[in-house]
Amino acid sequence: MSSSAEILSQAFTLGYTYTRSTGPIVGQFLTSLRARKMVGIKASDGKVLMPPVEFDPVSADALSEFVDVADSGVVKTWCWVKQPRKAHPSDKPFAWAMIQLDGADTPMLHWVDAGDEAAMSTGMRVKVRWAEETKGLMSDINGFVPEAVALLGELKPAASDEQITGMEAPIYLTYNFTAGKATARYLQSMKKGKLVGQRCPNCRNVYIPPRGSCAACGVPTEEEVTLGNKATVESFTIVYIPIPGNPIKPPYVIANLVLDGANLSFLHLLSECKNEDVRIGMRVEALWKPEAEWGYAMENIQYFKPIDEPDVPVDQIGKLIDEGR
């Protein structure tokens, strides 16, 4: 994380992988790809659509008649990518192209590994370069190449001949987060092993993490309040479903915690207790990681653990009064 004039910024990746059903049409298309075959679908006017679609684009009738098409065809239009990006299918310059396969009446979008922009032209003949190992995905087509290019290498047979009915679809977004002044000061305090919130000058509520303004009063919050490590469980949930990329194995407890002297909760992990013993009003305390591992993050606190103190009544959570109130 970098710092400039007390403003912190860092790159984050937000994402998850979900499983979607393919339906019978897309499922058959992907199953055929896994077998290194290309299939289109016949429309009501007799045209062969490629890739196959579930419904006729003219009549909207459901389609079901598959037609074998060749794995070679003609480039109808194209554009050259000089500087591929991370998400592109190739790390060297390539062409996106609309390719009409022999036996199909509509072109499909894919990429062409021509080696050089000068080798690309509208009307050129290309053929599929199959992946060494197929899985029933569009990436089973490892790009198209000029028809004259000799393809070498041994292709592994498909691992299965079962009909594909579902597929995993990863969705990830990488972005840069820039903290405002209030959040930056909070994160800088976290790196020093301190929990620092901000107090509203009007309603006197203490926010942690601070937001720079009071959500209730709409006024700036500038007075900083250093808080301790003790907190109260306001609410909690037991997580049973594993989250991709999360090293914590379920079941585990995530709780909304209100620090002593604060009024609003934040989310953190509970540990060193049985999940069934967690309850609203339970008293807990922060367990910090070793100082050498501290960064600009709430993860400096490894988790919160129960302490031997009486539970706080539900109507008193978030209302613990300190000397400054």
pLDDT digits (tens, 9 = 90+) for 202-239: 999 999 999 899 989 999 999 999 999 999 999 999 99
104 and 39 in a common domain: yes
User: Average pLDDT, whole number, for the chain?
Assistant: 91
Provide DSSP, 76-88: EEEEEESS--TTS
Number of structural domains the chain divides into: 2
**Is residue 240, in this structure, part of any structural domain at all?**
yes
**Is residue 6, in this structure, part of any structural domain at all?**
no
160 and 39 in a common domain: yes
Identify the domain containing residue 81 by its residue range.
Answer: 23-164
**Is residue 2, in this structure, part of any structural domain at all?**
no
CB atoms within 10 A of CB 308: 5
198 and 304 in a common domain: yes
**Is residue 324, in this structure, part of any structural domain at all?**
no
Poorest-confidence range of 11-15, 23-27, 297-301? 11-15
**Is residue 141, in this structure, part of any structural domain at all?**
yes
**Is residue 175, in this structure, part of any structural domain at all?**
no
307 and 198 in a common domain: yes
Provide DSSP, 147-209: TTSPP-SPPPPPS--SPP-EEEEEEEEEEEEE--HHHHHHHHHHHTT-EEEEE-TTT--EESS
Alpha-carbon distance values, 235 to 14, 218, 231, 252, 281 (Å): 25, 26, 12, 14, 8
- Please identify, among 140, 164, 188, the residue that sits at the C-terminal boundary of a domain: 164
pLDDT score recorded for residue 154: 73
214 and 100 in a common domain: no
**Is residue 74, in this structure, part of any structural domain at all?**
yes
230 and 160 in a common domain: no
199 and 120 in a common domain: no
At 131-164, the pLDDT tens digits run: 999 999 999 999 999 999 988 777 878 778 899 9
223 and 128 in a common domain: no
